[in-house]
Structure 1
Amino acid sequence: MSGEQEEIESPHNKPFLFDGGERKLAAHLRQVARGKSVLFHGTSLGSLIVRTDTLLVPSSGDPSISFTRSPEWAAHFAGLPKTDDDGLATVFVFEREALRYNYRLELHQDSIEEGAHNKFEMEERVYERDIRPVSKLLHAITFSVHSRVITLTSRRTSGPSTCPLQGPSRR
């Protein structure tokens, strides 16, 4: 990693640094999602979600599970440390239609003020419901370890990047 960082705006109107690892993860996510209708969920609790096959509503704060259409935001949130996280920046790539069929997705916008213009994070949420089984709703799981990006794709996925949620695809 070159240590190169790019400043972008956070949803809280404070700039944060989007580093080379997040940029690499976001670029990989764009490839994984190409031509698909997907939503991303970035987290540092990936192994817990895989182990339980469940995405839990938070026990404090807003009682919702958030998804974004932006690979950059997913990569950013995947890298944020949490209490008891597993240290792996993980992004779950959900099939949007499968989610929408099983859960009520509600649009949510975090306004990002930039001069006279507002930008919005492209977010959708599921309120007050755990999501399970996660494995039935996934297109792929992508995680970043020591500057390497690895993707596991669903058996339902076809194409050249297909591997079992299957074997890893490394970049």
Structure 2
Amino acid sequence: MNERFRDPRGTWMSFLDEEILVRCPDCQGCAVVAVHPRYDTQTAEPSYLGAFAPRRLVCSACLLARDWPGKTIIRHSDARDPYFGLPLWLQTRCGGNLLWAYGRRHLDLLEDYVTARHRERGARPGSMSMVERLPTWLKSARNRSEVLKAIRRIRRGTPPSRHRPEGSPTRAEAGRWGT
């Protein structure tokens, strides 16, 4: 059990720069939403930076690939990704509530928060962070063991990391675009 957790003061958008694991709309397997591989941060216009950069949905099981052009995201609170509106892969029921995460880093932060005996707010003032906006049932120490069991269930269903060398195509990209 962690002794101390310090709020990194990020928002929900802080987790959109990692791979978001979603349910594939075609085969219902685990698909990935990530920054488009041909997106160039050096030449992009400022409104395309960060969470608004173009994305690609790729399912390595059925070879589905779709592009999201950027600029407008959908804010979902019902366990869906903000680009394609697809259900998140990392979700499970927890005491009548729904526990969900965009990706591994988001799930790690939730686990670190729940296991900590002491929880500190970040030093920077301003609007509420994602941690401060967590639902009361998740923050409650009396739900700690149930939330940790739910996190373990989610982790058991998490596919292995899909990290690949920079610039190398995924199976879906190679199959669809002949790269």
TM-score interval (norm. to shorter): under 0.3
Q: Which has the larger radius of gyration?
A: 2
Please give the TM-score of this superposition, normalised by the length of structure 1: 0.22
Please give the TM-score of this superposition, normalised by the length of structure 2: 0.22
Higher helix share: 2
**Which structure has the higher relative contact order (CA within 8 Å, separation 6+)?**
2
